[in-house]
Structure 1
Amino acid sequence: MEFLVFGEDWGRHPSSSQHIISQLMHSYPVTWVNSIGLRQPSINRRDIVRIKEKLLAKFSAKNPTVDSSANSQENHQQTTPTHIVQPLVWPLAQHTGLKILNKLSLQRQLPKKRYQRVIWTALPSAIDLLSICDSDLVIYYCGDDFSALAGVDHQATAAAEQRLMLRADLIFACSPMLQAKLQQLNPQNPVILLPHGVSLSQFATPQPAPANINLKRTSIGFYGSIDQWLDQQLLRELAIQRPLINFYLLGPINTDISALADLNNIHLLPTQPHEQLARYLQHWDMAILPFKNTPQIQACNPLKLREYLAAGCPTISSDFPATQPYRSVIKTATTTEQWLQAIDHYSHWGRIERNHYQTQTRQLIAAETWQVRAKEVTDRISHQLKHKVS
C-alpha cells in the first residue's frame, strides 16, 4: 500500500494530516502534494508573495531520496515523505482549460504507482485532480469548516466538497460538528469521527525553560496564529485586571493587534518549531484558548488543547464543543469574571497541585496519541479495501 496526500505545504505548520501521515510513513511510501489552494489568486501583495514562494519551492527544493519499499528498514525510520511534489497548478480552477492544464502538469510530477494507492486529501479542491491519480481508495479528511474559514473561496470550495463527498470511499471528520455537517451533505456515506491526537511523549518529557519567559512572575500562555478569531478585547481586559501576570502570545501575527500594543504585561513572541513548544508549556503557570464565539471556532478541534494537557499545563478555554471531553480537567469561561476566577484559582497552585494535575491530564489523553489515530485509519483502510475487492 502507498499513500498520495493532498494537504498544506509539508513542514509549513504541524497539521493533523501531517501528524497522522508521519505515523503512516514509517510503514508505507508516501507522496505528499503540497498545497493546491482553496482560493483563486488575485493581484495583491500577499498572493504575489505566495506565488513567488511556490515557484521558488518548485525550482530549488530537492525531493527526498528514500527507499520507497514498504518493507525496507530505512523506510521504518522515515521522517519525511518518500516524494514531495511542488505542484504547478492554478488554485481552485473554474475554467475547463485551466483544469486540463492542471491535470497535465500534475500528472507529469506524480511518481509511478507501485502498490495499492490510497488518496488522502484534506483539501476539497483535489476533487478535480483525482482522475489522474490511479487510486484504489479515496479518503476525504475534513479538519476545518471551510464555509467559515477566512481566506477561502467559500462558494467554489463548498461545491468541490460536495462532489468530493460523493467520490470518497472513506470520510473522516475531526469534530462532531463537522461530522454532522458532512453527514447531511451525503447521508448515504457514513462520516467517521477521527478526533485529533497528541504527541504525548514529546510534551510530557521534561524540558528546560526558554530564556524569553520570566519565571519569577505568574505566566499565562497561548501559542498559534494570532488571528481574527482570537478574542483580543478579552485578553486586554484580563491583562489590565491582572497587571502582575505576564501574558505570552507565541505565533505568527495575521491581524491587527493594536488593542494589545500598549500593555506591558502582554508579550508577543516569535513562532517556534513544534518540538520547542513543550519548553513553554511546562513552565507557564497556565495555558489559554481565548477564542471568539464564531462558527469556525464552534466547529474546530484545536491540536493545542491536547498538547496543553499532555504537558500538564492548567488550561482555561472559551466554551466550544471540542472542549466537552476534557471538562473534568480544564476550566471553561464565557465571561471576563469567569476567566479571572479561573486565573486566580490556578495562580494559587503549588507543586503538589500541579503534579496531581499532570497525572490526571496524561491519564485522560493516554489513548489519544497520533499512533492510536493512525492505527484507527489503517484499520478502516484495510477493511474498506477488502470490501472493495470482495
Structure 2
Amino acid sequence: METVRIVPESGRPAEPADVTLLATADWDHPLWTNKQHVACSLAELGHRVLYVESLGLRALRAGGSDWRRVLQRLRHGLRPPRQVRERLWVWSPLVLPGASGGVAAWLNRQVLRLGLARCRRRLGLRRDWLWTYNPRTLEVLDARPYSRLVYHCVDAIQAQPDMPAAAIDRAEARLCAEADAVFVTSPQLLADLRALNPATLHYPNVADGAHFARAMDPALAVPAELAALPAPRIGFVGAISAYKLDLTLLETLARRHPHWSFVLIGPVGEGDPSTDVAALAALGNVHLLGTRPYNALPAYLKGLDLGLLPLRLTPYTQAMFPMKFFEYLAAGLPVVATAIDALQPFASLALLRPPTAEAFATAIAAALRGEGPALAERLAGAAAHTYRGRTEAMLQDLSRLE
C-alpha cells in the first residue's frame, strides 16, 4: 500500500483562486463532513469559495427527513448567497432532487447555470476552479469555462441505499476522465478511480484537530446527561445507520457486557431509513442520545472512555475512511475499530479488529486497561492529520499539475 501524504511538501503555493464548490451536503447539516471543512480551509488559505449545497443525487423518499430538507431549501432557494465566513458564501439552488433526464434534468441545468451566473455577478467571482463532490456534476453543469476541475471523491456514493448506482457509475467515469485532478480518501477508491484518471491521489480523511482537542481541556465540563451514566462509557458519534454500522455487533456486546455503558450520539437512519434500533434501545446499558451540536461534541467525547467504530464489512465501508477515527484520536480517546482497508496504515494508533463480538470485546477490555497505543502516540497521529494540512498538500499537488 502506497504511502499517503498529509504534511505539505515544499513547492510553490497555489495563488488565491475563486472556487465553486459543489457539495453533496447542505451547509447547516449537523454532521459536518469533508465538504464544509474543505470549504473553510480553502477560505482560510485565501481563496474565495462559493459553497453550492446538495443538488440531490437520488429521488425523494416518502419519509419526513427528505421533505423537511425540501422545505428548508424552498426557504433558502430564492435568496442570494449568504456569507458564513470570511471569503466563504453558501448558495442553495432550487433544483429537483434525483432528476436524471428529460424536462426535470433540463430545468436543473438551467437553474444551476443561471443561478451560478447571478452569484458570480453579485460576488464578483471568476470561474477559476470547480471543486466537486458530486459524481454527476457534468450532467448538470458545463465545466469547460473553469480553468481547473477537481473531483474530491470521499465515498462510494453509488453503494449507499437507494442510489441510482449505474447512472452514478457512468457519470463518475466521465467526470474522472475530464478532471484535472481526482482526490480520494481510501485505497479502494484509489484503485477504482486511478484506472479512470492517472492524476488520482490518495489523501485519507482527517479531523478538525483544534476543535476536538478541546476534549483535553480540564476546564471543559462533561454534559450532565453523559456524566450521570455509569463508567466505563463506550461511545460512537455520527450517523447511526444500518448500511454502515454493525448494529447486531453492538447489541451482542451490550448484552454480554451489561456493566459497560454504550453511548450513541447522532441521528438514527441518516441515509438509510430502514435502520431499526429498537433492540438496542430496549437495553438498559445502551443510551441513544440523539444528535448533539457540533460545537458540543468535544464535551461529549471528554466524557467517554473509548471511541468505537463498529463498521460492517460491505462494499461501501471497504471504500470509506471514517471521519470519526482522527476525531476520536484528537480528543485523546483510545479507539477500537473494524479493520477496514483504509485504516490499516494507521494500525499503530488504534486497535483494529474483525467485526465479531469476541474480537471487539477483547480489544475494548484491553483499551480500558490502558493497553494499546499510548496517549502521546494517538495525539501525535491526530495532529499530523488536519484539514488545514491536507488542504495545503492537495493545493500543492494541484500547482504541480499545471
TM-score range, shorter chain: 0.7 to 0.9
Residue 52 (structure 1) aligned with residue 85 (structure 2): no
Contact 2:81 2:90 in 1 (8 A): yes
**What amino acid sits opposite 2:378 in the alignment?**
T
1:83 aligns to what?
Answer: 89
Contact 1:175 1:301 in 2 (8 A): yes
Contact 1:171 1:191 in 2 (8 A): yes
Distance 1:295 1:19, change over 3 A: same
1:48-127 to structure 2, matched below 5 A, reads: 48-59=67-78, 63-65=81-83, 79=85, 82-110=88-116, 111-112=119-120, 114-115=125-126, 117-127=128-138
1:245-256 to structure 2, matched below 5 A, reads: 245-254=260-269, 255-256=275-276
The secondary structure found in structure 1 opposite 2:348 is coil
Distance 1:62 1:210, change over 3 A: farther
1:322 corresponds, among 342, 345, 351, to: 342
Distance 1:82 1:318, change over 3 A: closer
**What amino acid sits opposite 1:210 in the alignment?**
P
1:365 Cα deviation after fit: 2.9
1:310 aligns to what?
Answer: 330
The secondary structure found in structure 1 opposite 2:221 is coil
Distance in 2, matches of 1:45 and 1:276, equals: 26
Distance 1:91 1:159, change over 3 A: farther
2:307 corresponds, among 266, 287, 301, to: 287
Distance in 1, matches of 2:41 and 2:189, equals: 24
Any idea what the Cα deviations from partners look like across 1:315-373, whole Å, max 9, x if unmatched?
A: 11112112212211311222211211122223334xxx79x832111112322111111
Distance in 1, matches of 2:257 and 2:125, equals: 60
Residue 344 (structure 1) aligned with residue 358 (structure 2): no
2:27 aligns to what?
Answer: 10
Any idea what the Cα deviations from partners look like across 1:161-193, whole Å, max 9, x if unmatched?
A: 111112211111111111111123x1x532111
1:219 Cα deviation after fit: 0.7
**What amino acid sits opposite 2:204 in the alignment?**
P
Distance in 2, matches of 1:46 and 1:282, equals: 30
1:236 corresponds, among 251, 263, 266, to: 251
Distance in 2, matches of 1:52 and 1:215, equals: 37
Any idea what the Cα deviations from partners look like across 1:276-319, whole Å, max 9, x if unmatched?
A: 21212222111100111111111110110001111110111112
The secondary structure found in structure 1 opposite 2:384 is coil
Distance 1:199 1:107, change over 3 A: same
1:144 Cα deviation after fit: 0.6
The farther-off stretch of 331-340 and 210-219 is 210-219
**What amino acid sits opposite 2:176 in the alignment?**
M
Contact 1:21 1:374 in 2 (8 A): no
1:46 Cα deviation after fit: 5.1
Distance 1:105 1:321, change over 3 A: same
2:238 aligns to what?
Answer: 224
1:100 Cα deviation after fit: 2.9
Residue 208 (structure 1) aligned with residue 221 (structure 2): yes
Contact 1:22 1:80 in 2 (8 A): no
Contact 1:222 1:288 in 2 (8 A): yes
2:399 aligns to what?
Answer: 382
1:253 Cα deviation after fit: 0.7
Distance 1:127 1:295, change over 3 A: same
Distance in 1, matches of 2:345 and 2:400, equals: 28
Distance 1:43 1:280, change over 3 A: closer
Distance in 2, matches of 1:264 and 1:62, equals: 49
1:20 aligns to what?
Answer: 38
1:17 Cα deviation after fit: 2.0
2:205 corresponds, among 186, 192, 196, to: 196
1:221 Cα deviation after fit: 0.4
The secondary structure found in structure 2 opposite 1:328 is helix
1:56 Cα deviation after fit: 2.2
1:108 Cα deviation after fit: 2.3
**TM-score (normalised: structure 1):** 0.87
Runs of 5+ in structure 1 lacking a partner?
66-77
Any idea what the Cα deviations from partners look like across 1:80-109, whole Å, max 9, x if unmatched?
A: 663322112223433243333222212222
Q: Percent identity?
A: 30
Count of residues in Structure 1 that have an aligned counterpart in Structure 2 = 366
Any idea what the Cα deviations from partners look like across 1:36-69, whole Å, max 9, x if unmatched?
A: 111134666554444323212324x66335xxxx
**What amino acid sits opposite 2:169 in the alignment?**
A
Any idea what the Cα deviations from partners look like across 1:11-43, whole Å, max 9, x if unmatched?
A: 213111221221111211111111011113466
**TM-score (normalised: structure 2):** 0.85
Distance in 1, matches of 2:88 and 2:360, equals: 46
Runs of 5+ in structure 2 lacking a partner?
1-16, 270-274
The farther-off stretch of 156-165 and 214-223 is 214-223
The secondary structure found in structure 2 opposite 1:264 is coil
1:75 aligns to what?
Answer: none
Any idea what the Cα deviations from partners look like across 1:175-231, whole Å, max 9, x if unmatched?
A: 1111111123x1x53211121121222222313211111365211000111111211
Residue 358 (structure 1) aligned with residue 358 (structure 2): no
Contact 2:180 2:199 in 1 (8 A): no
The farther-off stretch of 31-40 and 332-341 is 332-341
Distance in 2, matches of 1:81 and 1:150, equals: 35
The secondary structure found in structure 1 opposite 2:142 is helix
Distance 1:114 1:235, change over 3 A: closer
Distance in 1, matches of 2:366 and 2:333, equals: 14
Distance in 1, matches of 2:74 and 2:82, equals: 18
Distance in 1, matches of 2:290 and 2:61, equals: 29
Contact 1:231 1:292 in 2 (8 A): yes
Distance 1:95 1:346, change over 3 A: closer
2:385 aligns to what?
Answer: 368
Contact 2:230 2:261 in 1 (8 A): no
Residue 153 (structure 1) aligned with residue 164 (structure 2): yes
